[in-house]
Amino acid sequence: MINKLKPILTILIILILTCYISTYWFQFTLVQGESMSPTLTPNHLVIIDKHNKTFQDGDIIVFYSANVHSVCIKRIIACPNESVQIKNGLIYVNNIESPFQRPDTYISYSGTASDKIQMSNEQYFVIGDNYEHSTDSRYSEIGIISYDNIIGKVVFPFISQ
């Protein structure tokens, strides 16, 4: 009797562990849209670390945007207590040109960042790598991202399907 239950218990334990890990630790997500091209393209599969919630400039994060009722994926440009401004097509963080702007690119729309924006505690400014085709913190629809709305950080991009 016990030998017959062993495979069922093994499958049950694997299912419980999978549910726990995908709920609290890691999650697979499929990129939709062009906003993170060329870094991440549509149908790119990524792993999101949902447990380690420490973020820095340059990290690619997944967050929930209440204004557009959607989950989004973007790059952090400015972290808490930093300032950001986009002028003359360039991103400045704390009055220094950002190392995370793609080389040889020009940002034609600075939106809310045309004037300097100061991040308060637990606020992040995010932007898509495809500057001309990304709705991000430059737009009031997305705006500044609160720490509480961040689902996790992309830790491993798989090859696109």
Query: Is 1's pLDDT higher than 80?
Result: no
Nearest residue to 60 (alpha-carbon basis) of 42, 76, 41, 78 = 76
- Which DSSP string do the residues of 23-78 spell out, in sequence order? HHTEEEEE--SSTTTTTS-TT-EEEEESS-----TT-EEEEEETTTTEEEEEEEEE
Domain parsing of the chain, residue ranges = 28-157
Q: What is the pTM of this model?
A: 0.86
Q: What is the pLDDT of residue 159?
A: 59
Other C-beta atoms closer than 10 Å to the C-beta of 40 total 23
Gap between the Cα atoms of 160 and 52, Å rounded:
25
Reduce the DSSP state of residue 138 to 3 states and report it: coil
Top CATH class of 28-157 equals mainly beta
Q: What is the pLDDT of residue 63?
A: 97
Mean pLDDT of 37-64: 93
Mean pLDDT of 57-86: 94
